[in-house]
Amino acid sequence: MNASTYDRHCSEIVAQTDLLRSLVRGAAQLRTPVPSCPGWNVGQLLRHLGGAHRWVEEVVRTGTERPPPDGHFRDLSPYADEDPAVLDGWLGEGAALLAETLRTAGPSAEAWVPLPQLGPAAAFFARRMANETAVHRADAFLAEGAPFTLGEETAADCFGEWLELVAQPQTLDHRPELRELLGHPGRTLRFRASGTAPGTAADWLVDLTGAAISWRHAPREEAAVTVSGPLTDLLLVLYRRLPARSPGMVIGGDAELLDSWLERVSFG
């Protein structure tokens, strides 16, 4: 990862958190259920995200070789009725601290990381937390009925990172049901963003024909099914935050393959 990309990820952690804080500041309460995160309300979602920021900051700052306890952002039962005024400042402090720690460490800093093949810990976590924050902002905004958009660069990076993560061998260990889709000729899915600026890599082909999931940018290849739509909405379909048949989305080809894929894949 080059320095400018790393710096953008650090900045995005704070920028996406600030946008979340704008939602918090306008709220009388944070008890709205979050359909895309069953069992959580908006306050619990934000406690999870802010806890993850602090947990990653500890990993990078200490250079630990083992993951620290993470129960504080997994068990959210104590946070069912959060005070927006308290959560606002707490979120901002955690995001700023994480970005500062990442910048001080630099992209090559080593520590425990769940997928070492995807790069040094600092670079991995900077990207992961930037995109995690963006997607959880979508969760909160959609739950509250607020309009959600992402810049093209951020949305395309979220899309590519999600595919990199789902293509790792460990994914099949955690989600063995995905193996049912693999190894059949012709099982390919294209996700094509419409209306993007020239130069934006916004066409992804997911290949399920082998023994593992793979993907590539291959805009001229045919696919069994193609899903097209605005980039932000396409990302939310991939993350199962929006139905594939939402307004503005166009599906061509084997829609059953798309449904089978989305039924078995989830992340975050």
**Interval 240-261: pLDDT, tens:** 999 999 999 999 999 999 999 9
CA dist 109 and 89 (Å) reads 28
- Smallest CA-to-CA distance from 202 within 150, 166, 246, 167 is with 150
CATH topology of domain 155-264: Nonspecific Lipid-transfer Protein; Chain A (3.30.1050)
> What is the reported pTM?
0.94
State the pLDDT confidence band at 267, using cuts at 50, 70 and 90.
Answer: low
Which value, in Å, is the radius of gyration of the alpha carbons in the chain? 19
Tell me the per-residue pLDDT of 5-35, one tens digit each, with 9 for 90 and over: 999 999 999 999 999 999 999 888 999 999 9
- Smallest CA-to-CA distance from 122 within 134, 130, 111, 133 is with 111
Residue 5, Cβ neighbours under 10 Å: how many? 15
Cβ atoms of residues 186 and 206 within 8 Å: no
| Residues forming CATH 1.20.120.450 domain(s) in the chain | 3-148
| Residues forming CATH 3.30.1050.10 domain(s) in the chain | 155-264
Tell me the per-residue pLDDT of 93-150, one tens digit each, with 9 for 90 and over: 999 999 999 999 999 999 999 999 999 999 999 999 999 999 999 999 999 999 999 9
Architecture in CATH of 3-148: Up-down Bundle (1.20)
For residue 266, pLDDT over 90 is answered with no
